[in-house]
């Protein structure tokens, strides 16, 4: 696993399911958030440190999610993160939820930076922007070069 093809394993517990016998649809957004958080940590950015030291909060501005197949109790899922678009104050990630290569859920998540207390928009911190630009550049390369 490289920073250019990040994936977090997520196990499905009773707490994630509903009486329909499958993962409750809103809970996939929590799975996606876990993967984004670990991906950022992998890139060198801890969310608590971003908030406490740099007054930066990441907020979801848009979530577009397609549910193809349901995940079940005890499933071991992979949740991926890929940079789709990068702006100065926001970026869009492509995120999939997979079960052994099978795509269960695919999502596009737009994230922006805001100031912690005021929720005023902020530019991405320079170090983060540079890091995401590098990731995006490498994703664009043919796979054998990654």
Nearer to a copy of itself, 62 or 103 (CB): 62
Stretch of residues binding a copy of itself (CB under 8 A), selected from 40-48, 84-92, 95-103, 130-138: 40-48
Give min distance, CB of 46 to a copy of itself, in A: 5
Kindly list the distances between the CA atom of residue 95 and the CA atoms of 26, 45, 54, 125, in Å, as whole numbers in the listed order. 15, 19, 26, 22
What is the spatial distance between Cα 90 and Cα 47, in angstroms, rounded to a whole number? Answer: 16
Of 49-88, binders to a copy of itself (CB under 8 A) are 49, 51, 57, 59-67, 70, 72-74
Which residues are part of the catalytic machinery?
18
Q: Are 119 and 61 in contact (CB under 8 A)?
A: no
User: Residue 116 is encoded by which pair of tokens?
Assistant: 């912690």
Q: What 8-state DSSP symbol labels residue 17?
A: B
Nearest CA to 79 out of 5, 10, 4, 2 is that of 10
Q: Environment class of residue 143 by beta-carbon count within 10 Å: exposed (0-12), middle (13-18) or buried (19+)? A: exposed
Q: Is 27 in the site for a copy of itself (CB under 8 A)?
A: yes
Give min distance, CB of 116 to a copy of itself, in A: 7
Q: Is 89 in the site for a copy of itself (CB under 8 A)?
A: no
The contact set with a copy of itself (CB under 8 A) reads: 11, 13-15, 17-22, 24-27, 29-30, 33-34, 37-38, 46-49, 51, 57, 59-67, 70, 72-74, 116-117, 119
């Amino acid at each position: 696993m490289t920073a250019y093809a990040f994936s977090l394993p997520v196990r499905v517990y009773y707490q994630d399911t509903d009486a329909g016998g499958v993962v409750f649809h809103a809970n996939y957004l929590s799975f996606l958030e876990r993967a984004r958080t670990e991906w950022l940590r992998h890139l060198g950015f801890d969310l608590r440190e971003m908030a406490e030291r740099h007054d930066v909060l990441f907020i979801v501005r848009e979530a577009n999610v397609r549910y193809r197949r349901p995940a079940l109790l005890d499933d071991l899922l992979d949740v991926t993160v890929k940079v789709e678009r990068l702006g100065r104050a926001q970026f869009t990630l492509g995120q999939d939820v997979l079960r052994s290569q099978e795509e269960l859920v695919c999502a596009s998540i737009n994230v922006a930076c805001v100031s912690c207390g005021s929720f005023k928009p902020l530019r991405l911190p320079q170090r983060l922007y540079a890091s995401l630009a590098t990731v995006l550049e490498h994703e664009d390369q043919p796979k054998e070069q990654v």
